[in-house]
Amino acid sequence: MTELRPYRPCVGVMLLNQEGLVFVGNRIDTPGDHWQMPQGGIDDGEDPRDAAFRELYEETGVDNAIIIMESSRPIRYDLPPELATTVWGGRYRGQEQRWFAMQFLGGDSDIRLDLHTQEFSAWRWMARDELVDSIVPFKRETYEEVLGEFSALWGES
């Protein structure tokens, strides 16, 4: 039963360029257009901020960004039943993510998808109003919550 399994501790990063566009990568392990922001697990004893910088570097090669905002609370999602028994060895029911908005201080040439185990086949800058429709369906509510958490970045309340 997935209800009895814990959530995987995780971080997510909304990386913004100078134009306010959001970095997304197309998942290498899922055919088709499955874009997402960088995210990944928090190692035992690791500070979530450190995990966010580590995950950002591992997935994008970016090491020149600063945190400009942090989500006020963790955001959870459950895996769909067809994935719940296979992803992460079936140990978790989903993820509990602490999200960080970061300002990218570099240029596009700083982005490298192949510095670590490659997770993205391609990347692009995306307008925030495209994010929710571009993500796999089971994460759409999560992305809506993330956008709500960071709405002040676009002058919204």
Domain range for 65: 2-154
CATH of the domain at 72: 3.90.79.10
**Residues 4-50: pLDDT tens digits?**
889 999 999 999 999 999 999 998 877 778 899 999 999 999 999 99
Domain count, the chain: 1
More confident residue, 119 or 85: 119
Measured CA to CA, the distance from residue 138 to residue 78 in angstroms comes to 8
The pLDDT value recorded for residue 142 is 94
Q: List all residues 6 or more positions away from 58 whose beta carbon is below 8 Å from its beta carbon.
A: 40, 115, 116, 117
Q: What is the pTM of this model?
A: 0.92
- What is the average pLDDT across 50-58? 97
Tokens of 27: 């998942």
Q: How many helices (H) and strands (E) in the chain?
A: 4, 8
Asked if 16 and 102 touch (Cβ cutoff 8 Å), the reply is: yes
Q: List all residues 6 or more positions away from 137 whose beta carbon is below 8 Å from its beta carbon.
A: none
The pLDDT value recorded for residue 115 is 87
**Residues 60-99: pLDDT tens digits?**
999 999 999 999 999 999 988 887 777 787 888 899 999 9
